Chain A
Amino acid sequence: MQSFLEIFDIYLLEAMVNGILLGGVLALLALGLNLIFGVIDVTWICYAELVMIGMYGMYYLVQYYGLPYYAAAPLTILLVAVLGALLHYLVIAPLLGAAPINQLLATGGVLFVLQSFATVAFGIDFRNLGIRLPVLQFAEMHFSYSRLLSFLAALVGMVVIYLFMTRTYTGTAIRAIAQDRQIMALMGVDTKRIYLVTSALGGALAGLAACLLVLQYDVHPFVGLSFGPITFLICVLGGLGNFVGGFVAAFLFAEIISLGGLFSDLEWGYVLAFAFFIVMMFIRPGGLLARRQ
C-alpha cells in the first residue's frame, strides 16, 4: 500500500507539471483571442482554424522547402498575422456596425471556409513535422521536451506582448481603445488602423501557437476542433477581454484536463473541464476575476 501511494504521487506530480506546461500554450491562445475581443469587441470563432493553417504552413515550409525550424517559425507567424489582418479587413470591418452576434456567426462561416480549404488543398491525412524531440527524465517523471519548449516560448511571447502593450505608442493606443471605443477616435487615434494592427497581432499570436503546437500534435484539417472550443471557454471563464483572468483560467483548465486524464480517459478530462466551466459561469457569470455586481 505504501509503495502504491508513492508511485501514485509521482504520477500525480507528473500530471500536474504537464498540466502547467499545457497551460502555457493555452494561455497564449487565450491571450490572442482576448486581445481581439478586448479591443475590437468581436469573438473570432475561427481562431483555432488560423492556428491550424499556421501548422500547415510550418509543415510545408519545413518538409517541402527544407527550411530549418527556426527559420520557418517567423515566416509562419508573419503568414498568420497577414491572415488575421485579412480576416479583419474582409469580414469584420464591414460588420462592425451590425449586431455582435452577426460578427460571431460570420467568423463561424470563416471557420467552415478554412477547414474545408485545408481539406481540399491539403487532404485529410494526418501529417507531422518529423521532428522528434527527446523526452526529459527527472526524478522518475517524464516530460516531453517539446512541451517544455512550448511553455517557455509561450511565456516569452506573452512577455513580448506585454512590453509592446505598455512601452509603445501603438500598444498604449490599443489599451486605450479597449477602455473606451468612442472617445479614442475623438482623441485623434485612427481606430481603423489600430483594429488592423490588433488583428495582425492576434494572428501573430495564433501563428506562434501554431509553431509550438505543431511540435506536439499531428496536423489535419480538423485539428482546430481539438483545442478551439477549450480556448473560448478559457476566455469566457477568465472574463472576455480580461488578460489576467484568461491567464489564470488557462492554467486552471489545463490542470483539470491533465488531472482528469490521469484518473480516467483524456475525454473525461475534457468533460470535467466543460462541466467545471458551466458551473463556474453560474457562480461567476462575469469571469473568474470579475467583481460581483
Chain B
Amino acid sequence: MKSPVASPVSFRQIVPWVVGVALIALPFVYRDPYHLHILVLILIWSFAYTSWSMMGRFGLVSLGHGGFMGVGAYVTALLWNHLGLSPWIGIPIALVCAGALALIVAYPCFRFRITGHYFALVTLALSGIVLQIITATRDYTGGSLGYTPDRTKGSHLVALQFDDKTTWYLIALGVWGVGLLIWRWVDRSMDRYALEAISEDEDAAAAAGVNVTFEKLKITVISALMTALAGALYCQYQMFISPDTVSGIAVSLQMVFAVVVGGIYVALGPTVGAIITIMLAEGLRIGFGTKAVGWDNLVYGVLLVVFIIFLPKGILGSLLERIKPSSKR
C-alpha cells in the first residue's frame, strides 16, 4: 500500500538536516513577532494533528482527542494555579491522567471489538464528557469563560512561561521534531505492520499471531499522551484556555479535518494540514476582519467535504503519489 522507507539516495538523507538547521536558525535571522507567533501555533497544532494521525492512519478514527487535549491543558493549569506545582511536574501528571483516560475508554472498546462508527461515537462521548466536566466545575476551571494560568513576572523557567517568541518557537520546533521522530519510529517498527494488518482484517491479524488489543492500546496511549502534551504546550504558550479552544467535539473534528486535508498516510501530512488551516484562518481574519467570523469554518467545511470525495489521500499524499508514480509509495 504505502511504504515510506527512504531510498538510499544521499539527497534524501541530506534534505531533512538542511531543513532542520534552517528552521532552527530562522528566529535568529527573522524576528517579526507576528509571523513567529503564527509559526509557533502552526508547530503546536502540527504536533497535535500528528498525534491524531498516529492512530488515524490505522483506521482508528477517534473523535475523543479534543478530550485528551483538554485534559493536558486543564490539568497542567489547575495544578499550577491551585497547588503551585510547576508545569515541569504538572505536565507529566497531566500526561498520566490523559493516558489513564485513554486506557479506561480504549481497553473495553478494543476488548469488545467496538470499531469503525461505534469507536468514533464512543470517543465522541469522551470528548463530550470532558467538555461538560470542564463547564460544570466552573468554580475551579472558570467554565466556558476560559481559564488563565497565574502569570509570573517576565520569563520564568520553572513556571515554563517565556515572554519572547524565539524561546517558544524553539520549544515548539523541538516538540514537533520529536513528534515526527515518534511517527518515524512507529513507521519503521513491527507494530506498523501489525496495525496495518489489524486495520485490514482483525480476525486474520489475530489468527496470524498479532495481539490485536495490545497493539491498538499501545498506539492509542501514545497518541493520547502526545495530544495531551500538545494541549499543555498550547496552554503554556497562549496563557489562556477555554473549553471551546482545547476540548470538545469541534476541536476533535478540527484535528480530523486538518489531517485529512494534509494527508493522513504521510509523516508531514498533518503539518501541511496545520499550515493550510491556520494560514487560511489568519488570511481570512486579516482580509475581512471581524466580518470573517464564521467564514473560515465555512471554507474548512466545504474543503473537508470536497477533499474526502475527490482527494481522500490529502494534498501531500496525492502530490507525493503524483511526483513518483513508479516508486513503492
- Tell me whether A265 and B136 are in contact in the complex, defined as CB-CB below 8 angstroms, given that A112-B297, A229-B249, A274-B128 are known contacts: yes
Q: Is the CB of A116 within 8 A of B298?
A: yes
Taken together as a complex, chains A and B put the C-alpha atoms of A180 and B105 apart, in Å, by 33
Residue of B nearest to A264 (CB): B136
Q: Is the CB of B118 within 8 A of A285?
A: yes
Would you give the shortest CB distance from B130 to chain A, in whole angstroms?
A: 9
Cβ-neighbour of A281 out of B109, B117, B129, B133 (below 8 A): B109
The number of chain B residues with a CB under 8 A from chain A is 44
Cβ-neighbour of B121 out of A43, A124, A270, A282 (below 8 A): A43
Taken together as a complex, chains A and B put the C-alpha atoms of A274 and B117 apart, in Å, by 17
Most buried by A among B59, B117, B256: B117
Q: Is the CB of B305 within 8 A of A281?
A: no
- Please, which residues of chain A bring their CB within 8 A of the CB of B309? 91, 94-95, 106
Does A10 sit within 8 A of B, measured CB to CB? no
Would you give the shortest CB distance from A115 to chain B, in whole angstroms?
A: 6
**9-residue interface stretch from A97-105, A140-148, A152-160, A195-203:** A97-105
Cβ-neighbour of A274 out of B129, B303, B312 (below 8 A): B129
Does B235 sit within 8 A of A, measured CB to CB? no
Residues of B within 8 A of A (CB): 59, 61, 105, 108-109, 112-114, 116-118, 120-122, 124-126, 128-129, 132-133, 135-136, 249-250, 253, 256-257, 260, 293-298, 300-305, 308-309, 312
Most buried by B among A99, A105, A117, A120: A105
Within 8 A of B (CB), among A267-284: 267-268, 270-271, 274-275, 277-278, 281-282
- Tell me whether A109 and B121 are in contact in the complex, defined as CB-CB below 8 angstroms, given that A115-B297, A120-B294, A267-B136 are known contacts: no
- Please, which residues of chain B bring their CB within 8 A of the CB of A119? 293-294, 297
Residues of A within 8 A of B (CB): 43, 45, 91, 94-95, 98-102, 104-106, 108-117, 119-120, 124, 221, 225, 229, 232-233, 236, 240, 265, 267-268, 270-271, 274-275, 277-278, 281-282, 285
Q: Is the CB of B249 within 8 A of A225?
A: yes
- Please, which residues of chain B bring their CB within 8 A of the CB of A105? 61, 256-257, 260, 304, 308
Taken together as a complex, chains A and B put the C-alpha atoms of A180 and B305 apart, in Å, by 28
Q: Is the CB of B312 within 8 A of A102?
A: yes
Would you give the shortest CB distance from B201 to chain A, in whole angstroms?
A: 14
**8 CB < 8 A contacts A-B:** A105-B257, A108-B256, A113-B302, A116-B300, A225-B249, A233-B124, A270-B136, A278-B125
Most buried by A among B108, B120, B132, B302: B132
Would you give the shortest CB distance from B180 to chain A, in whole angstroms?
A: 24
Rank and list the top 9 A-B pairs by shortest CB-CB distance, nearest first: A112-B301, A109-B304, A119-B294, A113-B301, A267-B136, A116-B297, A116-B298, A282-B108, A109-B305
- Please, which residues of chain B bring their CB within 8 A of the CB of A45? 253
Would you give the shortest CB distance from B127 to chain A, in whole angstroms?
A: 9
Most buried by A among B116, B128, B135, B260: B128
